[in-house]
Amino acid sequence: MGPKEEEKFIYISSLVFQEMRGTLSDENRLFLERWLQESVMNKQIYRRCLDEAQQREAYASLQHFENQRNFESIKAKVSFHPSTKRSGLLQRLWPYFAAASVLLALSVVWYWNSDNNRPVQTQLRAVNDRIPASHQAIITLSDGRQYTLNNGEKQVVIDGSGIRYNDGHEVATVNAAVSARIETPRGGTYEITLPDGTLVKLNAGTILSYPTEFAKDRREVSLQGEAYFEVSKREDQPFIVHTKNQQVQVLGTHFNINAYPTALQTKTTLLEGKVQVQELIKGQKVTLLPGDQSVHTRTELTKHPVNVQQEMAWVYGKFNFDGKSLRQVMDELSQWYAVDVVYKGDVPDVSFFGGTFRTSKLSTILNILKDQDLSYHLTNDGKLIIEKNDLKAQKGGQ
Protein backbone atom coordinates (compact mmCIF):
# COMPACT_ATOMS: atom_id res chain seq x y z
CA MET A 1 0.00 0.00 0.00
CA GLY A 2 1.70 3.19 -1.20
CA PRO A 3 1.40 6.69 0.32
CA LYS A 4 -1.50 7.64 -1.96
CA GLU A 5 -3.43 4.48 -1.08
CA GLU A 6 -2.73 4.97 2.63
CA GLU A 7 -3.89 8.58 2.42
CA LYS A 8 -7.09 7.51 0.68
CA PHE A 9 -7.79 4.79 3.24
CA ILE A 10 -7.33 7.20 6.13
CA TYR A 11 -9.70 9.63 4.40
CA ILE A 12 -12.26 6.86 3.83
CA SER A 13 -12.04 5.88 7.49
CA SER A 14 -12.86 9.47 8.47
CA LEU A 15 -15.92 9.40 6.19
CA VAL A 16 -17.15 6.16 7.74
CA PHE A 17 -16.67 7.71 11.17
CA GLN A 18 -18.64 10.80 10.09
CA GLU A 19 -21.47 8.58 8.87
CA MET A 20 -21.53 6.75 12.20
CA ARG A 21 -21.79 10.14 13.93
CA GLY A 22 -24.45 11.39 11.51
CA THR A 23 -22.32 14.31 10.26
CA LEU A 24 -21.48 13.07 6.75
CA SER A 25 -22.17 15.69 4.03
CA ASP A 26 -23.94 14.80 0.77
CA GLU A 27 -20.74 15.36 -1.23
CA ASN A 28 -18.70 13.06 0.99
CA ARG A 29 -21.50 10.48 0.96
CA LEU A 30 -21.19 10.25 -2.84
CA PHE A 31 -17.41 9.78 -2.50
CA LEU A 32 -17.94 7.01 0.06
CA GLU A 33 -20.52 5.28 -2.16
CA ARG A 34 -18.11 5.34 -5.11
CA TRP A 35 -15.41 3.77 -2.92
CA LEU A 36 -17.82 1.02 -1.86
CA GLN A 37 -18.44 0.14 -5.49
CA GLU A 38 -14.73 -0.31 -6.21
CA SER A 39 -14.36 -3.77 -4.62
CA VAL A 40 -16.00 -6.47 -2.52
CA MET A 41 -13.32 -5.99 0.15
CA ASN A 42 -14.29 -2.34 0.56
CA LYS A 43 -17.89 -3.37 1.22
CA GLN A 44 -16.76 -6.01 3.72
CA ILE A 45 -14.63 -3.52 5.66
CA TYR A 46 -17.50 -1.02 5.64
CA ARG A 47 -19.97 -3.62 6.96
CA ARG A 48 -17.54 -4.59 9.72
CA CYS A 49 -17.25 -0.96 10.80
CA LEU A 50 -21.02 -0.70 11.18
CA ASP A 51 -21.55 -4.13 12.76
CA GLU A 52 -22.08 -3.82 16.52
CA ALA A 53 -20.85 -7.35 17.24
CA GLN A 54 -17.61 -6.63 15.36
CA GLN A 55 -17.23 -3.37 17.28
CA ARG A 56 -17.62 -5.18 20.60
CA GLU A 57 -15.05 -7.75 19.55
CA ALA A 58 -12.60 -5.08 18.42
CA TYR A 59 -13.03 -3.16 21.66
CA ALA A 60 -12.46 -6.28 23.77
CA SER A 61 -9.38 -7.13 21.68
CA LEU A 62 -7.92 -3.67 22.14
CA GLN A 63 -8.50 -3.78 25.89
CA HIS A 64 -6.64 -7.10 26.06
CA PHE A 65 -4.04 -5.71 23.68
CA GLU A 66 -3.30 -2.72 25.91
CA ASN A 67 -3.48 -4.65 29.19
CA GLN A 68 -0.96 -7.23 28.02
CA ARG A 69 1.36 -4.53 26.62
CA ASN A 70 1.90 -6.55 23.46
CA PHE A 71 2.49 -3.51 21.34
CA GLU A 72 6.17 -3.31 22.19
CA SER A 73 6.86 -6.72 20.68
CA ILE A 74 4.52 -6.21 17.71
CA LYS A 75 5.99 -2.87 16.68
CA ALA A 76 9.50 -4.34 16.56
CA LYS A 77 8.27 -6.95 14.08
CA VAL A 78 5.98 -4.80 11.96
CA SER A 79 6.43 -1.08 11.44
CA PHE A 80 8.69 0.30 14.16
CA HIS A 81 12.05 -1.26 13.35
CA PRO A 82 14.53 1.53 12.52
CA SER A 83 16.22 -0.04 9.52
CA THR A 84 15.22 -3.62 8.66
CA LYS A 85 13.16 -4.08 5.49
CA ARG A 86 9.88 -5.97 5.79
CA SER A 87 9.89 -9.58 4.72
CA GLY A 88 8.17 -10.56 1.45
CA LEU A 89 5.19 -12.04 3.31
CA LEU A 90 4.79 -8.99 5.52
CA GLN A 91 5.06 -6.71 2.49
CA ARG A 92 2.17 -8.54 0.83
CA LEU A 93 0.07 -8.46 4.00
CA TRP A 94 0.77 -4.82 4.83
CA PRO A 95 -2.44 -3.41 3.27
CA TYR A 96 -4.44 -5.70 5.55
CA PHE A 97 -2.52 -4.54 8.64
CA ALA A 98 -3.35 -0.96 7.64
CA ALA A 99 -7.01 -1.83 7.07
CA ALA A 100 -7.20 -3.62 10.41
CA SER A 101 -5.61 -0.65 12.20
CA VAL A 102 -8.14 1.80 10.80
CA LEU A 103 -11.03 -0.56 11.47
CA LEU A 104 -9.89 -1.07 15.04
CA ALA A 105 -9.56 2.66 15.62
CA LEU A 106 -13.04 3.29 14.25
CA SER A 107 -14.59 0.44 16.16
CA VAL A 108 -13.13 1.47 19.50
CA VAL A 109 -14.13 5.10 19.13
CA TRP A 110 -17.70 4.27 18.18
CA TYR A 111 -18.38 1.02 20.04
CA TRP A 112 -21.76 1.23 21.80
CA ASN A 113 -21.82 -0.01 25.37
CA SER A 114 -24.75 -2.38 25.90
CA ASP A 115 -25.21 -1.32 29.52
CA ASN A 116 -25.90 2.35 28.94
CA ASN A 117 -26.21 2.59 25.12
CA ARG A 118 -23.58 5.32 24.99
CA PRO A 119 -20.49 5.38 22.77
CA VAL A 120 -17.12 4.54 24.27
CA GLN A 121 -15.97 7.91 22.93
CA THR A 122 -17.18 9.33 26.26
CA GLN A 123 -15.25 6.67 28.16
CA LEU A 124 -12.04 7.64 26.35
CA ARG A 125 -12.31 11.09 27.91
CA ALA A 126 -11.23 9.69 31.24
CA VAL A 127 -9.08 11.85 33.53
CA ASN A 128 -5.39 11.14 32.69
CA ASP A 129 -5.93 10.56 29.00
CA ARG A 130 -6.46 12.72 25.94
CA ILE A 131 -8.33 12.10 22.72
CA PRO A 132 -6.76 13.28 19.42
CA ALA A 133 -7.33 16.65 17.80
CA SER A 134 -10.69 17.37 16.18
CA HIS A 135 -11.97 19.95 13.70
CA GLN A 136 -11.87 23.18 15.70
CA ALA A 137 -11.19 26.74 14.59
CA ILE A 138 -12.24 30.36 15.10
CA ILE A 139 -12.46 32.98 12.35
CA THR A 140 -12.04 36.64 13.34
CA LEU A 141 -12.84 39.38 10.81
CA SER A 142 -11.08 42.76 10.77
CA ASP A 143 -14.30 44.50 11.83
CA GLY A 144 -14.30 42.51 15.09
CA ARG A 145 -16.84 39.81 14.26
CA GLN A 146 -15.83 36.35 15.45
CA TYR A 147 -17.21 32.93 14.56
CA THR A 148 -16.56 29.50 16.09
CA LEU A 149 -16.57 26.99 13.25
CA ASN A 150 -18.73 23.88 13.30
CA ASN A 151 -16.71 20.82 14.37
CA GLY A 152 -18.99 18.66 12.23
CA GLU A 153 -17.34 20.26 9.20
CA LYS A 154 -13.64 20.44 8.40
CA GLN A 155 -13.32 23.15 5.73
CA VAL A 156 -14.49 26.69 5.02
CA VAL A 157 -14.39 28.62 1.75
CA ILE A 158 -13.97 32.40 1.50
CA ASP A 159 -14.74 34.45 -1.60
CA GLY A 160 -16.42 37.70 -2.55
CA SER A 161 -19.81 36.51 -1.32
CA GLY A 162 -18.63 35.65 2.18
CA ILE A 163 -17.46 32.69 4.25
CA ARG A 164 -19.23 29.34 4.01
CA TYR A 165 -18.68 25.69 4.76
CA ASN A 166 -17.64 23.38 1.94
CA ASP A 167 -21.22 22.08 1.71
CA GLY A 168 -22.52 25.60 0.98
CA HIS A 169 -23.90 26.61 4.38
CA GLU A 170 -23.02 30.23 5.20
CA VAL A 171 -20.79 31.17 8.13
CA ALA A 172 -20.73 34.94 7.63
CA THR A 173 -20.87 37.73 5.07
CA VAL A 174 -17.68 39.70 4.52
CA ASN A 175 -19.33 43.15 4.34
CA ALA A 176 -16.72 45.83 5.12
CA ALA A 177 -14.10 43.46 6.56
CA VAL A 178 -10.86 43.67 4.54
CA SER A 179 -9.00 40.84 6.25
CA ALA A 180 -9.55 37.82 8.45
CA ARG A 181 -7.72 35.39 10.72
CA ILE A 182 -8.44 31.68 11.16
CA GLU A 183 -6.98 30.09 14.28
CA THR A 184 -6.87 26.45 15.33
CA PRO A 185 -6.26 25.83 19.04
CA ARG A 186 -4.00 23.12 20.37
CA GLY A 187 -6.03 19.98 19.81
CA GLY A 188 -7.71 21.45 16.71
CA THR A 189 -7.28 21.32 12.93
CA TYR A 190 -9.14 22.84 9.96
CA GLU A 191 -8.94 23.58 6.24
CA ILE A 192 -9.68 26.76 4.33
CA THR A 193 -10.03 27.62 0.65
CA LEU A 194 -8.82 31.19 0.06
CA PRO A 195 -10.39 33.70 -2.40
CA ASP A 196 -8.04 32.57 -5.23
CA GLY A 197 -8.89 28.88 -4.80
CA THR A 198 -5.74 28.03 -2.79
CA LEU A 199 -6.32 25.23 -0.27
CA VAL A 200 -4.64 25.51 3.14
CA LYS A 201 -4.65 22.73 5.74
CA LEU A 202 -3.95 24.04 9.24
CA ASN A 203 -2.27 21.85 11.83
CA ALA A 204 -3.04 22.24 15.54
CA GLY A 205 -2.08 25.52 17.24
CA THR A 206 -1.88 27.52 14.00
CA ILE A 207 -2.92 31.04 12.92
CA LEU A 208 -3.37 32.08 9.28
CA SER A 209 -4.09 35.73 8.45
CA TYR A 210 -5.29 36.69 4.96
CA PRO A 211 -7.15 39.43 3.06
CA THR A 212 -10.76 38.89 2.08
CA GLU A 213 -9.72 39.94 -1.43
CA PHE A 214 -6.20 39.61 -2.84
CA ALA A 215 -4.38 42.49 -4.55
CA LYS A 216 -4.17 42.34 -8.34
CA ASP A 217 -0.38 41.93 -8.45
CA ARG A 218 0.19 39.58 -5.48
CA ARG A 219 -1.42 37.25 -2.95
CA GLU A 220 -0.07 37.59 0.59
CA VAL A 221 -0.86 35.68 3.79
CA SER A 222 0.82 35.39 7.20
CA LEU A 223 1.39 32.15 9.10
CA GLN A 224 2.21 31.17 12.66
CA GLY A 225 2.30 27.42 13.30
CA GLU A 226 2.16 24.74 10.59
CA ALA A 227 0.18 24.59 7.36
CA TYR A 228 0.16 22.73 4.06
CA PHE A 229 -0.55 24.84 0.96
CA GLU A 230 -1.90 23.82 -2.45
CA VAL A 231 -1.53 27.13 -4.24
CA SER A 232 -3.71 27.96 -7.24
CA LYS A 233 -1.37 28.76 -10.15
CA ARG A 234 -1.39 32.40 -11.38
CA GLU A 235 1.64 33.51 -13.38
CA ASP A 236 1.03 37.25 -12.90
CA GLN A 237 0.06 37.07 -9.22
CA PRO A 238 2.73 35.47 -6.98
CA PHE A 239 1.65 33.87 -3.69
CA ILE A 240 3.69 34.94 -0.65
CA VAL A 241 3.63 33.40 2.82
CA HIS A 242 5.08 35.56 5.60
CA THR A 243 6.32 34.03 8.85
CA LYS A 244 8.20 35.69 11.70
CA ASN A 245 11.67 35.45 10.15
CA GLN A 246 11.19 34.51 6.50
CA GLN A 247 8.94 34.70 3.47
CA VAL A 248 8.13 32.08 0.83
CA GLN A 249 7.17 33.11 -2.70
CA VAL A 250 5.53 30.83 -5.29
CA LEU A 251 3.38 31.02 -8.41
CA GLY A 252 1.51 27.75 -7.98
CA THR A 253 2.74 24.74 -6.03
CA HIS A 254 2.31 22.35 -3.08
CA PHE A 255 4.42 22.93 0.02
CA ASN A 256 4.44 22.78 3.81
CA ILE A 257 5.68 25.36 6.32
CA ASN A 258 6.42 24.56 9.97
CA ALA A 259 6.88 27.86 11.82
CA TYR A 260 5.73 27.44 15.41
CA PRO A 261 6.87 30.38 17.57
CA THR A 262 8.40 28.07 20.20
CA ALA A 263 10.49 26.11 17.66
CA LEU A 264 14.18 26.89 17.07
CA GLN A 265 13.82 26.27 13.32
CA THR A 266 11.42 27.20 10.54
CA LYS A 267 11.09 24.42 7.96
CA THR A 268 9.69 24.71 4.43
CA THR A 269 9.18 21.46 2.49
CA LEU A 270 8.35 21.36 -1.22
CA LEU A 271 6.20 18.63 -2.73
CA GLU A 272 5.47 20.04 -6.18
CA GLY A 273 6.54 23.04 -8.27
CA LYS A 274 9.21 25.54 -7.22
CA VAL A 275 9.51 28.04 -4.36
CA GLN A 276 11.89 30.75 -3.22
CA VAL A 277 12.57 31.11 0.51
CA GLN A 278 14.11 34.31 1.86
CA GLU A 279 15.16 35.00 5.43
CA LEU A 280 14.46 38.57 6.51
CA ILE A 281 17.55 39.61 8.50
CA LYS A 282 20.46 38.98 6.11
CA GLY A 283 18.37 38.58 2.97
CA GLN A 284 19.66 35.06 2.24
CA LYS A 285 17.66 33.18 -0.40
CA VAL A 286 17.34 29.54 -1.45
CA THR A 287 15.28 27.98 -4.24
CA LEU A 288 13.55 24.69 -3.49
CA LEU A 289 12.71 21.94 -5.95
CA PRO A 290 10.42 18.96 -5.18
CA GLY A 291 11.88 16.91 -2.33
CA ASP A 292 13.88 19.84 -0.90
CA GLN A 293 13.50 21.38 2.54
CA SER A 294 14.85 24.70 3.75
CA VAL A 295 15.77 25.12 7.42
CA HIS A 296 15.97 28.61 8.87
CA THR A 297 17.69 29.01 12.23
CA ARG A 298 18.55 32.22 14.01
CA THR A 299 21.85 32.44 12.14
CA GLU A 300 21.43 30.87 8.69
CA LEU A 301 19.19 29.53 5.94
CA THR A 302 20.09 26.17 4.41
CA LYS A 303 18.44 23.54 2.23
CA HIS A 304 18.75 19.76 1.85
CA PRO A 305 16.79 16.82 0.39
CA VAL A 306 14.30 15.10 2.72
CA ASN A 307 11.87 12.20 2.86
CA VAL A 308 8.72 14.11 1.88
CA GLN A 309 6.35 11.40 3.10
CA GLN A 310 7.92 11.58 6.55
CA GLU A 311 7.77 15.36 6.67
CA MET A 312 4.15 15.35 5.47
CA ALA A 313 2.94 12.55 7.75
CA TRP A 314 0.55 14.90 9.59
CA VAL A 315 -1.32 15.71 6.36
CA TYR A 316 -1.80 11.97 5.76
CA GLY A 317 -3.21 11.46 9.28
CA LYS A 318 -0.07 9.96 10.82
CA PHE A 319 2.70 10.61 13.31
CA ASN A 320 6.17 9.83 11.99
CA PHE A 321 8.81 9.80 14.70
CA ASP A 322 11.75 8.54 12.58
CA GLY A 323 14.96 10.16 13.78
CA LYS A 324 13.15 12.76 15.91
CA SER A 325 14.38 13.73 19.35
CA LEU A 326 12.31 13.40 22.50
CA ARG A 327 11.59 17.12 22.56
CA GLN A 328 10.56 17.20 18.90
CA VAL A 329 8.13 14.33 19.47
CA MET A 330 6.75 15.95 22.61
CA ASP A 331 6.25 19.27 20.79
CA GLU A 332 4.01 17.43 18.29
CA LEU A 333 2.06 15.64 21.01
CA SER A 334 1.66 18.88 22.96
CA GLN A 335 -0.03 20.55 20.00
CA TRP A 336 -2.14 17.58 18.92
CA TYR A 337 -3.42 16.56 22.36
CA ALA A 338 -3.40 20.01 23.99
CA VAL A 339 -1.13 19.06 26.89
CA ASP A 340 1.73 20.90 28.59
CA VAL A 341 4.94 18.86 28.69
CA VAL A 342 7.10 19.07 31.83
CA TYR A 343 10.56 17.45 31.97
CA LYS A 344 11.43 16.32 35.49
CA GLY A 345 15.05 15.79 36.45
CA ASP A 346 17.82 14.75 34.07
CA VAL A 347 15.90 13.48 31.01
CA PRO A 348 18.06 12.29 28.08
CA ASP A 349 17.10 13.70 24.68
CA VAL A 350 16.79 10.29 22.99
CA SER A 351 15.73 9.58 19.39
CA PHE A 352 12.73 7.58 18.23
CA PHE A 353 11.68 5.52 15.22
CA GLY A 354 8.35 4.53 13.69
CA GLY A 355 4.94 6.10 14.03
CA THR A 356 1.21 5.50 14.11
CA PHE A 357 -2.14 7.02 13.17
CA ARG A 358 -3.00 10.40 14.67
CA THR A 359 -6.45 9.05 15.61
CA SER A 360 -4.92 7.19 18.58
CA LYS A 361 -5.56 8.39 22.10
CA LEU A 362 -2.58 9.80 23.98
CA SER A 363 -2.11 6.80 26.30
CA THR A 364 -1.68 4.55 23.25
CA ILE A 365 1.00 6.86 21.82
CA LEU A 366 2.84 6.91 25.14
CA ASN A 367 2.80 3.12 25.25
CA ILE A 368 4.48 3.14 21.84
CA LEU A 369 7.22 5.42 23.16
CA LYS A 370 8.05 3.32 26.24
CA ASP A 371 11.38 2.12 24.91
CA GLN A 372 13.88 4.57 26.29
CA ASP A 373 13.84 3.98 30.05
CA LEU A 374 11.50 6.95 30.46
CA SER A 375 8.19 7.21 32.28
CA TYR A 376 5.23 9.37 31.28
CA HIS A 377 2.55 10.59 33.66
CA LEU A 378 -0.46 12.72 32.74
CA THR A 379 -1.79 14.81 35.63
CA ASN A 380 -5.39 15.80 36.23
CA ASP A 381 -4.67 19.39 35.15
CA GLY A 382 -3.36 18.39 31.71
CA LYS A 383 0.39 18.29 32.30
CA LEU A 384 2.45 15.47 30.82
CA ILE A 385 5.32 14.72 33.21
CA ILE A 386 8.37 12.99 31.70
CA GLU A 387 11.17 11.59 33.84
CA LYS A 388 13.80 8.90 33.77
CA ASN A 389 12.71 5.61 35.32
CA ASP A 390 13.83 4.95 38.88
CA LEU A 391 15.88 1.76 38.54
CA LYS A 392 15.64 1.03 42.26
CA ALA A 393 11.86 1.26 42.11
CA GLN A 394 11.84 -1.08 39.10
CA LYS A 395 13.82 -3.65 41.11
CA GLY A 396 11.56 -3.40 44.11
CA GLY A 397 13.76 -1.00 46.01
CA GLN A 398 16.80 -3.28 46.14
Domain boundaries, the chain: 3-125, 134-310, 318-394
Q: Which residue has the higher pLDDT, 279 or 2?
A: 279
Q: Which pLDDT band, with edges at 50, 70 and 90, does 262 fall under?
A: confident
Mean pLDDT of 75-92: 41
Query: Which pLDDT belongs to residue 396?
Result: 44
- Strand, coil or helix: 377: strand
Whole-angstrom Cα distance, residue 274 to residue 290?
Answer: 7
Q: Which pLDDT band, with edges at 50, 70 and 90, does 310 fall under?
A: confident
Pairing of strands 199-202, 138-141: unpaired
Mean pLDDT of 188-192: 95
pLDDT higher than 60, residue 69: no
Mean pLDDT of 64-82: 40
pLDDT higher than 80, residue 220: yes
Where is average pLDDT lowest: 30-39, 68-77, 383-392? 68-77
Whole-angstrom Cα distance, residue 37 to residue 51?
Answer: 19
Angle at 345 between CA 339 and CA 347, to 5 degrees: 75
Gap between the terminal Cα atoms of the chain: 49
Where is average pLDDT lowest: 6-20, 185-199, 225-239, 323-337? 6-20
For residue 254, give Cα distances in angstroms to 66, 203, 228.
Answer: 39, 16, 7
Q: Among the residues of the chain, which ranges form H helices?
A: 3-21, 26-36, 40-50, 52-67, 71-77, 88-109, 308-311, 326-337, 362-368, 391-394
pLDDT higher than 60, residue 121: no
Where is average pLDDT lowest: 106-110, 207-211, 354-358? 106-110
Contacts of 204 (CB under 8 A, 6+ apart): 133, 184, 185, 186, 187, 188, 189, 225, 335, 336, 338
Pairing of strands 219-230, 239-242: parallel
Whole-angstrom Cα distance, residue 281 to residue 124?
Answer: 47
- Strand, coil or helix: 336: helix
pLDDT higher than 50, residue 76: no
Contact between residue 48 and residue 55 where contact means Cβ atoms under 8 Å apart: no
Mean pLDDT of 97-125: 39
Q: Which residue has the higher pLDDT, 107 or 232?
A: 232
The topology (CATH level 3) of 318-394 is: Phage tail protein beta-alpha-beta fold (3.55.50)
Sign (positive or negative) of CA dihedral 240, 241, 243, 248: negative
- Strand, coil or helix: 39: coil
Mean pLDDT of 153-162: 88
Beta bridge partners of 188: 134
Query: Which pLDDT belongs to residue 278?
Result: 94
Mean pLDDT of 165-179: 89
**What is the CB-side half-sphere exposure of residue 242 using CA atoms within 13 A?**
9
Q: What letter represents residue 203's amino acid?
A: N
Query: Which pLDDT belongs to residue 204?
Result: 96
Question: Is 134-310 assigned to CATH 3.40.50.2030?
Answer: no
Query: What is the percentage of the chain residues whose pLDDT exceeds 90?
Result: 39
Query: Which pLDDT belongs to residue 160?
Result: 75
Burial class (CB in 10 A: 0-12, 13-18, 19+), 288: buried
Q: Which pLDDT band, with edges at 50, 70 and 90, does 206 fall under?
A: very high
**What is the CB-side half-sphere exposure of residue 136 using CA atoms within 13 A?**
15
Q: What letter represents residue 113's amino acid?
A: N
pLDDT higher than 80, residue 311: yes
Whole-angstrom Cα distance, residue 327 to residue 344?
Answer: 13
Whole-angstrom Cα distance, residue 301 to residue 278?
Answer: 8
